[in-house]
Structure 1
Amino acid sequence: MAVHAHPDDESSKGAAMTARYAAEGHEVLVVTLTGGERGDILNPAMDIPGIRDRMPEVRREEMAEAARILGVQQRWLGFVDSGLPEGDPKPPLPEGCFALVPLEEPTRKLVEVIREFRPHVMTTYDENGGYPHPDHIRCHEVSVAAYEAAGDPDRFPEAGPAWKVQKLYYSHGFIRKRLELFREEYERRGEPFPMEEWLKRWRTEQGDIMARVTTQITCSDYFPKRDDALRAHATQIDPNGSFFAVPLDIQQKVWPTEEFELAKTRVHTAIPETDLFAGIEDGQVR
Structure 2
Amino acid sequence: MDAMTRTLVAFHAHPDDEALLTSGTMAKAAAQGHRVVLVVATDGALGLASDDFRTDGDLAATRLDETRASAEVLGVDRVEWLGYADSGHDGPVPENPPGRVRFCRAPVEEAAERLAAVLTTERADVLLTYDAAGGYGHRDHVRVHEVGARAAEIAGTQRVLEATVPRDTIARAVRLAAKVYPFPKEFDPTSFERAFTARADITHRVDVRRHIAAKRASMRAHASQASNDGSQSGDRTLAAFLRIPRPLFDLVFGREWFRDPSVGRGGNGTGADGIRTDVFEGLA
Shorter-chain TM-score bucket reads 0.7 to 0.9
Secondary structure of 1:2's aligned partner = strand
Aligned residue among 12, 18, 25 for 2:20:
12
Aligned residue among 222, 225, 231 for 1:236:
225
Aligned partner of 2:147 in structure 1 is 142
Q: How far off its partner does 1:251 sit?
A: 3.8
Q: Take 1:204 and 1:213, find their aligned partners in 2: how far apart are those partners?
A: 16
Q: How far off its partner does 1:246 sit?
A: 3.0
Aligned residue among 102, 105, 129 for 1:100:
105
Bigger Cα Rg: 1
Native 8 Å contact 1:124 1:143 kept in 2: yes
Distance 1:49 1:4, change over 3 A: closer
Aligned partner of 2:43 in structure 1 is 35
1:214 aligns with 2:198: no
Q: Take 2:279 and 2:71, find their aligned partners in 1: how far apart are those partners?
A: 20
1:126 aligns with 2:124: no
Distance 1:51 1:59, change over 3 A: farther
Native 8 Å contact 1:23 1:71 kept in 2: yes
Identity within the alignment, % = 30
Native 8 Å contact 2:129 2:145 kept in 1: yes
Distance 1:114 1:206, change over 3 A: closer
Q: How far off its partner does 1:176 sit?
A: 3.4
Q: Take 1:181 and 1:105, find their aligned partners in 2: how far apart are those partners?
A: 38
- The TM-score, its normalising length taken from structure 1, stands at 0.77
Native 8 Å contact 1:194 1:246 kept in 2: no
Q: Take 2:224 and 2:18, find their aligned partners in 1: how far apart are those partners?
A: 15
1:134-173 to structure 2, matched below 5 A, reads: 134-151=139-156, 165-173=157-165
Q: Take 2:106 and 2:16, find their aligned partners in 1: how far apart are those partners?
A: 22
Q: Which amino acid aligns with 2:255?
A: T
Q: Take 1:200 and 1:135, find their aligned partners in 2: how far apart are those partners?
A: 20
Q: Take 1:169 and 1:256, find their aligned partners in 2: how far apart are those partners?
A: 18
1:56 aligns with 2:56: no
Native 8 Å contact 1:172 1:209 kept in 2: no
Distance 1:179 1:107, change over 3 A: closer
Aligned residue among 254, 257, 260 for 2:255:
257
- The TM-score, its normalising length taken from structure 2, stands at 0.78
Q: Take 1:38 and 1:200, find their aligned partners in 2: how far apart are those partners?
A: 22
Native 8 Å contact 1:179 1:199 kept in 2: no
Distance 1:104 1:255, change over 3 A: closer
Q: How far off its partner does 1:108 sit?
A: 0.8
Native 8 Å contact 1:98 1:135 kept in 2: yes
Q: Take 2:41 and 2:73, find their aligned partners in 1: how far apart are those partners?
A: 20
Q: Deviations over 1:76-123 (max 9, x none)?
A: 11111111223xxxx244233111111111011111111001111111
| Structure 1 segments (4+ residues) deviating >4 Å | 181-184, 195-200, 205-208
1:67 aligns with 2:75: no
Secondary structure of 1:119's aligned partner = coil
Q: Give the aligned CA root-mean-square deviation in angstroms.
A: 2.9
In structure 1, runs of 5+ residues without a counterpart are 152-164, 187-191, 282-286
1:189-204 to structure 2, matched below 5 A, reads: 194=180, 201=190, 204=193
Q: Deviations over 1:228-284 (max 9, x none)?
A: 11111111124953222432212435763111111236xx96441011111124xxx
Q: Take 1:205 and 1:99, find their aligned partners in 2: how far apart are those partners?
A: 22
Distance 1:112 1:235, change over 3 A: same
Aligned residues: 252
Q: Take 1:63 and 1:199, find their aligned partners in 2: how far apart are those partners?
A: 26
Q: Deviations over 1:28-49 (max 9, x none)?
A: 10111111122221xx4xx227
In structure 2, runs of 5+ residues without a counterpart are 1-8, 229-234
